[in-house]
Structure 1
Amino acid sequence: MTAGDLEKAHGAILSRNDLLDRRRALYSAAIAFLNQSGVEDPDAAVLDNPLVRAAVGRGLGGSVGEVSADPLWALAPEPGAFGVRVASERGAAAALAPVLAHVADQVLDHGDRVRLEVLTRDSPEFADSVSTIAAGAALLHEVVPELARDVLPHVGLVTVLSGGGRLGSASLREYPGLVMLPPPGSALEAAEALIHEGAHQKFFDLAIVGSIFASRPASGLLRPSWVAGSAPGWTFAQCAAAFHAYCHLAVLAGPTRSFEVHDGSLLPFAAERAAELGEMLQDRQALLGKDGRLLVGSLVGNELSDVVVEDAPLSTSPWRDDPRAVTRAVGEWSVVVYGVGPSVVRLAPPARRG
């Protein structure tokens, strides 16, 4: 598998620009629905902010309250090298406090206690960390340019953390677009973190815009061979996301084979783990949606059976009777947010009949 293969597999579902446009349209519709006033069409600096996206997620989950339209530059004024924004403002520590508490709780579940802090421009380690992250982004553009341009645009904000102990890079599905990492010790360590977590962000965006998973719920937990028996098992969705990330890491491992890797690097094991997870997904392909089967099939080199998707007739669509419903369109594709809950419906263009 090559970087070009990964870029092509993603592009078979949606081009990078179309995916970003559709994701932003979804969040724009959700903000307008949840607020029912104020900013109806925020720009990308708002729609790409992980804290705004997290608030939208809570709102769609039934939480009460308006979504603040805070732009990314409130946390990171500088776009950063190759567009990788690093949280730098003093206010970032307070804004990200709920994220750090959530991470600390997850780490505690695994028996470790951490005291996390956000490094900002006033921190002694910050300047070196930003320089190393920039070097990591540059390395990606040098050795795997297809991956860099395909994945990095899905990273909304990078946060450098201290006090994490054994915690490596991390991202949370509750805060899409946010990547956290300790001060990186080398350009390769930064590059690995960016491509690993960036792949998760790309996968998340594909999942919320496309049909990665089938509508039927996945039951039971899975245990890849490297997961200790005392550790929690993995859900099917976790396995799918990990497979996608390991495919990216396996590609990065090739051209950096002569580099010295840091302790805890996943690059030496990436190809083997991607293969194992790929077999798991193929064996359970009924749990994948149309786009999920296309993606997994492309990456394992084995076309999976297709899924027939029946479109609901628009004349009976329930949102037509909801005066609060909000629609946003990108070309022929549109998204509707409506109802109690609320519900999100993605509408593909009508199929063309020959």
Structure 2
Amino acid sequence: MSTHALHAALIPAPALVDERRTLYRLAAEMFAPGTELSDNLADHPIVRYEIGRALAGHGDVDPAQLTQVASMRVRDAGVPVASDPAAAEVLEAPLRITAPSGARPQPLTEADGERFENALAIVEEGVRLLHKFAPDMAEDLLAHVSMLAVLKRETSGGLVSASSRYVPGIVLIDEPVLPMDVAEALVHEGAHEKFFDLAIAKEFLDVSAEDADYFETSWSHVRWPLEQTFAAWHAYSCLAQFSLSIGAEQCGADSLLARARNRADEIGEWLLAHEASLRADARWLLRALVSGPIEPTGEVASPSQVDGATLSPQFSEDCHFRPLPDVRHKRSITGRVVAGRVVSPPEVFWLDEDASWALCQWRHDRNAKTFGSILARAAEEWKVGSAAAAVRLENALGSLLASSLVEMPDQAH
């Protein structure tokens, strides 16, 4: 089955983008109450970088600064291309993070006149080729590319293309010679951007991944941690699929398309042997792409980052619950809820369906509510019997208690 079909089986691209925006909007409100991010702000790579730094405990969020960086001019070439003469300053973080050793990449901008216009034309043609050869893949991956920056060849240090999970949404490419250079780079880096969004919203990796074995490539003998290994496998899998669609189209000198299948197979075999370190959605995607078409299973049907599914405290009907004062939450168009606690560093959780429903009972007020009153509404809205609703609600409230998102004021000291 194709990569885009499997991605859609996990979550369609528009829904995934909305869940990612929902998380960033929640985070912005946590740091700067009253802040509302437009789609443009929520998608902007530097806005996401600044919010990500704050979530990691490195600084705060300044709404005025976010608005200022998002005003950087771009040109439409099928994807937004950084064109503002101030781009080098605004994009300092991704330029620095992705730079090869000893290099200081600089973006081409409108200040470079005809040279920039020529590069822009090649980018536009590359985007057109991607849509021509792989229209479904283009729609799937480009939904996660918010900006592209073209690097001056003499400053790039040989960097062909790059992206970074620390500054998600932006793709950097070396000054292109052929449109196919651009098309391939957008598949390669678009796959990474897709992975970054999946890792934010779905069950892919957790902190234990940092302690997992490293993978060593046979072609360069570099060693990659698990997250980088999975991201590389995912990108090579997309490149291998793209290579089947391009026919006799000429590829650039640095093309990886001819090697993509073998590399994807090598990495995939290693990942299967280490899949215990992956979470449910990552395991499902791995098995589906490596082993062939399979139906999505219940294993990924109700993802949650709050581990409380086995809790069943059997609350009495007059037990009271309320959210903690520092808890904030937002609901995405998919119905999933992301919740956060304004602590240092902040804590953010994706909730399962029942926990989402339970926390949303306080969307209008934060007054304490009894288990019995919430149960009556749950049975009605879930259209199940009281006993079945009680088990589900006990699990939901138990998970919210375990995550310190709600408390029982009658047991507080």
TM superposition score category, shorter chain reference: 0.7 to 0.9
Distance 1:242 1:54 in 2: 22
CA drift of 1:347 comes to 1.0
Moved more, 322-331 or 234-243: 322-331
Contact 2:159 2:174 in 1 (8 A): yes
Alignment pair present for 1:6 and 2:11: no
Q: 2:220 aligns with which of 215, 227, 230?
A: 227
- 1:167-182 aligned at under 5 Å gives the runs 167-182=159-174
Contact kept in structure 2, 1:45 and 1:72, CA below 8 Å = no
CA contact (8 A) 1:46 1:71 kept: no
Partners of 2:129 and 2:179 within 8 A in 1 = yes
Mapped pair 1:18 → 2:10: no
1:343 counterpart residue number: 347
CA distance in 2 between partners of 1:115 and 1:342 (Å): 33
CA distances 1:210-236 after superposition (whole Å, capped 9, x unpaired) = 0012563342321021123xx4x1011
Assess if the C-alpha contact under 8 Å between 2:69 and 2:90 holds in 1.
no
Counterpart of 2:48 in structure 1 is 53
State how far apart, in whole Å, the 2-side matches of 1:28 and 1:145 are.
Answer: 30
**Equivalent runs, 1:82-93 vs 2, <5 Å:** 82=78, 84-93=79-88
* Residue ranges of structure 1 left out of the alignment (5+ in a row): none
CA displacement at 1:96 relative to structure 2? 1.2
Over residues 182-241 of structure 1, what are the superposed CA-to-partner deviations in whole Å (9 max), with x where a residue is unaligned? 11111110000111101100011001100012563342321021123xx4x101111100
Instruction: Report what 1:103 is aligned to.
Output: 98
Cα distance, 1:311 vs. partner? Answer: 3.4
Task: Tell me the residue number matched to 1:196.
Answer: 188
The residue type equivalent to 1:44 in the other structure is D
Q: Contact 1:30 / 1:326 at 8 angstroms: preserved in 2?
A: no
The one-letter code matched in structure 2 to 1:251 is Q
**SS at structure 1 position matched to 2:214:** coil
Aligned partner of 1:333 among 326, 333, 336: 336
SS state at 2:216 partner: coil
2:125 to 121, 135, 143: 135
Aligned mates of 1:153, 1:13 — CA distance in 2: 15
Q: What residue in structure 1 maps to residue 37 of structure 2? A: 42
- Contact map agreement 2:331 2:338 (CA 8 A) in 1: yes
Alignment-derived partner of residue 234 in structure 2: 244
* RMSD (Å) for aligned C-alpha atoms: 2.6
Give the conservation status (yes or no) of the 8 Å contact 1:48–1:72.
Answer: no
Partners of 1:147 and 1:46 in 2: CA distance: 25
Q: Which runs of 4+ in 1 moved over 6 A?
A: 313-316, 351-354
Q: How many residues align?
A: 336
- For 1:344, the aligned partner's letter is V
Give the structure 2 partner of residue 69 of structure 1. Answer: 66
Distance 2:68 2:187 in 1: 24
State how far apart, in whole Å, the 2-side matches of 1:195 and 1:11 are.
16
Aligned amino acid, residue 35 of structure 1 = A
Alpha carbons 2:156, 2:174 under 8 Å: kept = yes
2-structure distance, mates of 1:238, 1:115: 23
SS in 2 for 1:122: helix
2:24 is aligned with 1:27: yes
Structure 2 segments unaligned to the other structure (5+ residues): 316-320, 356-381, 389-413
Q: Which amino acid aligns with 2:329?
A: T
Q: 1:343 to 1:158 in 2, by over 3 A?
A: same
The Cα of 1:167 is off from its aligned counterpart by 1.1
- TM superposition shift of 1:74: 1.7
Instruction: State how far apart, in whole Å, the 2-side matches of 1:96 and 1:214 are.
Output: 28
What secondary structure sits across from 2:161 in the alignment?
A: coil
Residue 81 of structure 1 corresponds to 77
| Greater RCO (Cα-Cα under 8 Å, separation 6 or more) | 1
- State whether residues 47 and 69 of structure 2, in contact with CA within 8 Å, keep that contact through their aligned partners in structure 1: no
| Residue identity opposite 1:122 in structure 2 | A
Question: Is the Cα contact below 8 Å between 2:14 and 2:143 reproduced in 1?
Answer: no
